[in-house]
Structure 1
């Protein structure tokens, strides 16, 4: 008993991610910044340039709250504790060093959860260290990936974003895909 494939138009797939909210999870310890306002502006610029046009919320996470919480609040950045990385949005950006499987159990668990979120119709956007070995990325996951220095400067991802991949894709106009086991679409 197999799953009946459904046909979705390219535009439907693209619209699913282009205009939905993107939550950015930024590990303050792994990727410290000196100018929080410029960081905020450049993250938003990089996402918009990659085709993510919905609302952007930035959540800084760490072990301890920042000394100047008001400074972060004024920059529209919310602090969350390190153990609270889940969200109910469709686009999720993660800025952390150890996001792919490693010897550390917490890193492996976090990487597995990112893969599960991707399988459940979440669009995962990643920022990785400039020296990160991209061959460590799971092949089956559709991630949009920035190098940290490019993202920090408001630059473009390494390859076209998932949204732009659907804009530029040539016919056929319809794409056959199995329905998502989570959302049914």
Structure 2
């Protein structure tokens, strides 16, 4: 079956404290224009999380106030998981999900959730901070996703990272393999 993700609806889980927009445009307008430039024409829903609600979120954006980073990540994780459960009950149609959050470490289970989101009808898009390769790549596992975007490239309306660039990142980042052992087989991956 061939899926057309460019016409599919997109849901966004966005930590606006980690990825703020400092322009006169709203978060909604900014992301919508980037998606349209890159060929995505479906509907757009944004759920934002942050210490303080930005004045320029845009109409219809849901905001969840959480001051502490760990609390924001955990409520976002819960919301993504609930969204994923709803997908199981809905007809199988193409959907896009975009996650914008920094410091996604093992203790928040984001990497595991990213594996669970990858279904036939879902395209996962993760936005990485611009300094991801500088130091974070050696501490944080790269989530499972179809597409990765660097933050500034997304803001500038540029294309997502190439498959070659993502492959190179995966070679540098810690391995996910030891978190998904095959039953009955001893896993020696460290």
Normalising by the residue count of structure 2, what TM-score does the alignment of the two structures yield? Answer: 0.60
Secondary structure of 1:149's aligned partner: helix
Q: Give the CA deviation at 1:36.
A: 6.2
- Displaced runs of 4 or more, over 6 A: none
1:106-185 correspondence runs (5 A):
106=108, 109-119=109-119, 121-133=121-133, 136-137=141-142, 141-159=144-162
Q: Decide whether the 8 Å contact of 2:130 with 2:151 is kept in 1.
A: yes
Query: Does residue 105 in structure 1 map to residue 93 in structure 2?
Result: no
Figure out how many residues of one structure are paired with residues of the other and give that number.
Answer: 137
Please identify which structure carries the higher strand content.
1
Distance 2:116 2:145 in 1: 12
Q: Is the 8 A contact 1:118 1:142 kept in 2?
A: yes
CA RMSD for the aligned pairs?
A: 2.8
Distance between the aligned counterparts of 2:64 and 2:24, measured in 1?
16
Runs (5+) with no aligned partner, structure 1:
1-7, 161-185
Cα 1:129–1:152 shift into 2, 3 Å = same
- 2: CA distance between counterparts of 1:67 and 1:20? 27
Runs of 5+ unmatched residues, structure 2: 66-71, 88-94, 164-190
The question of 1:48 aligning with 2:36 is answered yes
How far apart, in 2, do the equivalents of 1:95 and 1:72 lie? 15
TM value normalised by structure 1? 0.61
